[in-house]
Amino acid sequence: MLEVLVVGGGPAGMMAAGQCDPRRARVTLMEKNEKLGKKLLITGKGRCNFSNDAPLEQFIANMPGNGPFLFSALNAFSSRDLQDFFRLRGVAVKRERGGRLFPESDRSSDILTALEGFLKEKGVALRFRQRAQKILLEEGRAAGVLTEAGKVYRADRVILAVGGASYPGTGSTGDGYSLAGEAGHTILSPRPGLVPLRVAEGWVRDLQGLALKNAELSFKAPGGAVEGEFGELLFTHFGLSGPIVLSLSRRMLGQREGLTLQLNLKPALAEETLLKRVQRDLDKNSRKQYQNCLEGLLPKKLIPVVVSLSGIDPDKQAAHINREERLALTRLLQNLPLTFRGFRPLAEAIVTVGGVSVKEVNPKTMESKKVPGLYLCGEVLDVDGYTGGYNLQTAFSTGYVAGKRAAEA
């Protein structure tokens, strides 16, 4: 009987361990933390957006980091398969905007409980507080793992599923890159993938905690087209966060020089329509000061900022605001300039861009092309996607394939 060792107890590792056929293999899962799934528990703000039901081609299009590598894995274990997997284990599933899939309970713990039950059902041996230091090789093949404490785990197959380098407090500290690199793999330099942005404007800090539900943030690189995202945005003490900021940050990678940012507070309205709306609000409050006329247009916290940036005297009576000033206000609402100062650190990113080169991994089996008997899955690979459940589905799908194929004789 084969001995299979899975390194890493996140989504990819748990799925891989459970998918190994217990009739063919004895499976041990080693995890550096004191429990499984620490990072899984905090995904989706604790709600766990575990997948997306987008059709395959659309799913791949939302994986800017080597998406085509995933065709085989997603065909082998699709979003539909993953939903069925959880439903079979008592987790009701719901669909939200953009095809995002969550447990109906909004509790990531339900997803983890289902995975832990799966491991118990398959007889997987769990070993906690075991940090891998080196992949052992014999005659060029993976033969086990040496831990940081000096313990040796022998195995016929090793599945490396230790995650990336984001949220290091959960255990994702980039161990997999050194382990795979020392075994002979090419490692593409890790960078923050879905990460908040730093901006220079002081007024942004004044808005800390304010969330906008229907905003549009766009960027333009010198000589390039304008690219934007529509949806929810959050102001922070350092700049901007929220779903649209995270997705946009991935598209901004590699284009740091000369980037300009613009925020559209009213993206659903054409300029002329918004101008009429501004006029209507001013007419309705014609006797009031300008600074007291925007309650119907903007969140209360945002009004002083817009008033200041508009250049219109805050004390000016609404009835005396001329067309030129109204037009300037309208354009400001739809083209608020922001100065990009960089990305937040990799430790704050949701996913890592970079990792083990997919050119060195068989996409149909997840086995290393460099080291027979070594399988790689999840975020340790140089594969990444936008927000919306794409990255977790990738972890589950690649873990599924790695586990199935590693246990084959």
pLDDT at position 70: 98
User: Tokens representing 220?
Assistant: 């333009």
| Percentage of residues in the chain having pLDDT higher than 70 | 97
> What are 230's strand-pairing partners?
216
- What is the DSSP track for 18-55? HHS-TTTEEEEEEESSSSS-HHHHHGGGGT---EE---
pLDDT at position 169: 58
**Average pLDDT value for residue range 15-30:** 96
pLDDT at position 146: 97
Of the listed ranges 15-19, 24-28, 219-223, the one predicted with least confidence? 219-223
Pairing of strands 352-356, 187-192: antiparallel
Q: Are residues 12 and 72 in the same domain?
A: yes
* Of the residues 302, 321, 344, the one at which a domain ends: 344
Determine the structural domain holding residue 311 and report its residue range: 196-344
DSSP 344: P
**Average pLDDT value for residue range 198-212:** 94
Residue 174 pLDDT more than 90? no
Q: Are residues 328 and 394 in the same domain?
A: no
pLDDT in tens, 248-286: 998 888 766 678 899 999 999 999 999 999 999 999 988
Domain count, the chain: 2
- Average pLDDT over the chain, rounded to whole? 93
**Average pLDDT value for residue range 181-206:** 92
Q: Are residues 293 and 278 in the same domain?
A: yes
Q: Are residues 280 and 376 in the same domain?
A: no
Of the listed ranges 13-22, 110-119, 212-221, the one predicted with least confidence? 212-221
**Average pLDDT value for residue range 357-374:** 98
Residue 167 pLDDT more than 90? no
Residue in the block written with tokens 């936008």 = 386
pLDDT at position 256: 60
Q: Are residues 179 and 303 in the same domain?
A: no
Amino acid at 174: G
Q: Are residues 161 and 77 in the same domain?
A: yes
**Average pLDDT value for residue range 350-370:** 95
* Residue, of 367 and 346, whose pLDDT is higher: 367
pLDDT at position 383: 96
Contact 198/235 with Cβ under 8 angstroms? Answer: no
* Of the residues 293, 312, 344, the one at which a domain ends: 344
Q: Are residues 211 and 340 in the same domain?
A: yes
Q: Are residues 180 and 121 in the same domain?
A: yes
* H or E segment and range at residue 384: none
Q: Are residues 104 and 155 in the same domain?
A: yes
pLDDT band at 172 (very low <50, low <70, confident <90, very high): low
pLDDT at position 404: 97
Q: Are residues 88 and 221 in the same domain?
A: no
Q: Are residues 250 and 167 in the same domain?
A: no
pLDDT in tens, 288-345: 999 999 998 999 999 999 999 999 999 999 999 999 999 999 999 999 999 999 999 8
CATH of the domain at 38: 3.50.50.60
Q: For residues 153 and 132, what is the distance between their CA atoms, to the nearest angstrom?
A: 10
* Residue, of 231 and 222, whose pLDDT is higher: 231
Of the listed ranges 6-15, 149-158, 281-290, 360-369, the one predicted with least confidence? 281-290
* Of the residues 326, 344, 362, the one at which a domain ends: 344
pLDDT at position 166: 58
pLDDT band at 224 (very low <50, low <70, confident <90, very high): confident
- What is the DSSP track for 265-306? S-TTS-HHHHHHHHHHHHHHTTTSBGGGS-TTTS-GGGHHHH
pLDDT at position 349: 83
pLDDT band at 227 (very low <50, low <70, confident <90, very high): confident
3-state class (DSSP) for residue 104? coil
**Residue 45: partners with Cβ closer than 8 Å, 6 or more residues away:** none
**Residue 406: partners with Cβ closer than 8 Å, 6 or more residues away:** 4, 16, 20, 25, 157, 159, 367, 375
Closest by CA to 145, choosing from 184, 180, 186, is 180
Q: Are residues 130 and 224 in the same domain?
A: no
pLDDT at position 351: 84
Of the listed ranges 13-27, 216-230, 273-287, the one predicted with least confidence? 216-230
- Rg for the chain (alpha carbons), in Å? 25
Residue 14 pLDDT more than 70? yes
DSSP strand E in 305-393: where?
336-338, 340-343, 352-356, 374-376
Residue 147 pLDDT more than 90? yes
> How many other C-beta atoms can be found within 10 angstroms of the C-beta atom of residue 220?
16
**Average pLDDT value for residue range 20-38:** 95
pLDDT at position 180: 95
Full-model pTM: 0.86
pLDDT at position 347: 81
